[in-house]
Amino acid sequence: MDTITSTRSLCVFCGSREGSDPAYREAAIRLGVLMARRGVRLVYGGGSIGLMGVVADAVLAEGGEAVGVIPDFLMRSEHGHRRLTEQIITGSMHDRKRRMFELADAFCVMPGGLGTLDETFEIITWKQIHLHELPIIVLDIAGYWQPLQALLAKVISAGFADASILDLVSVVNSPDDVLDAIATAPSIKDGVVTSHL
């Protein structure tokens, strides 16, 4: 079975705001539509606002499944989505991230704020230390994630990591490439794990 057909659930990390560039919203809609059409269930942070709400609404509008995972204290401030296939309420942010991880076959990182950065770095680090081998696709809309790529390059050039950390993520520039990138994501190498993380 290939990776795309075995990818039943894609966890999408993205902002609780839509951002200043309309391209972010357009990409979220397109990704949601493509996921639903290919039978890939959305797993995400459970909000109804920002890019989170946009991608969930797009999935649902196309007849797809959307599962939200949100801590109880954020249900109000992030306007927990009320029309999802399933809404899972957790007791903490840590539980939220763990539950999203458990439900995912792959991850997609869209533009977002500090919460998105937190989720992204944690799931990349978990892959680095071999807690999982799931594909992580960074959707670089309008150059949003170029600073992340520059930071990873700096981490390597400054001697804090092996160049193989670049294989932990795959970067694409269009939502049309996300699902195909899952199938071609490189496997992690033993050299990624070191005693000096």
Q: Token pair for residue 168? A: 């932990």
Q: 189 in a domain, yes or no?
A: no
What's at 26, amino acid-wise? E
What is the residue range of 166's domain? Answer: 3-183
**How many distinct structural domains can be found in the chain?**
1
Q: 195 in a domain, yes or no?
A: no
Q: Token pair for residue 117? A: 């950065």
Q: What is the enclosing helix (H) or strand (E) of 15?
A: none
Dist. CA 98–CA 2, nearest whole Å: 26
Residues 6+ apart with CB under 8 A from 170: 135, 136, 137, 138, 181, 184, 185, 186
Provide the pLDDT for residue 187: 79
Q: 190 in a domain, yes or no?
A: no
77, burial (CB in 10 Å: exposed 0-12, middle 13-18, buried 19+): exposed
Instruction: Tell the residue number behind the tokens 């490439």, with chain if given.
Output: 177
Provide the pLDDT for residue 17: 96
**What CATH number does residue 138 fall under?**
3.40.50.450
Cα-flanking dihedrals φ and ψ of residue 128, to 5°? -60, -40
Provide the pLDDT for residue 3: 46
Q: 143 in a domain, yes or no?
A: yes
- Which pLDDT tens digit goes with each residue over 116-136? 999 999 999 999 999 999 999
Provide the pLDDT for residue 4: 47
Radius of gyration, CA atoms only, the chain:
16
- Around Cβ 34, how many Cβ atoms within 10 Å? 20
Q: 192 in a domain, yes or no?
A: no
CA angle 27, 36, 175 (to 5 degrees): 25
Cα-flanking dihedrals φ and ψ of residue 136, to 5°? -125, 115
Q: 196 in a domain, yes or no?
A: no
Provide the pLDDT for residue 166: 93
Q: 99 in a domain, yes or no?
A: yes
Provide the pLDDT for residue 82: 87
Q: 179 in a domain, yes or no?
A: yes
User: Is 0.85 topped by the overall pTM?
Assistant: yes
Taking 50 as the pLDDT cut, the residues of the chain under it are 1-5, 195-197
- Give CB contacts under 8 A, 24+ apart, made by 118-121: 119/13, 120/13, 120/148
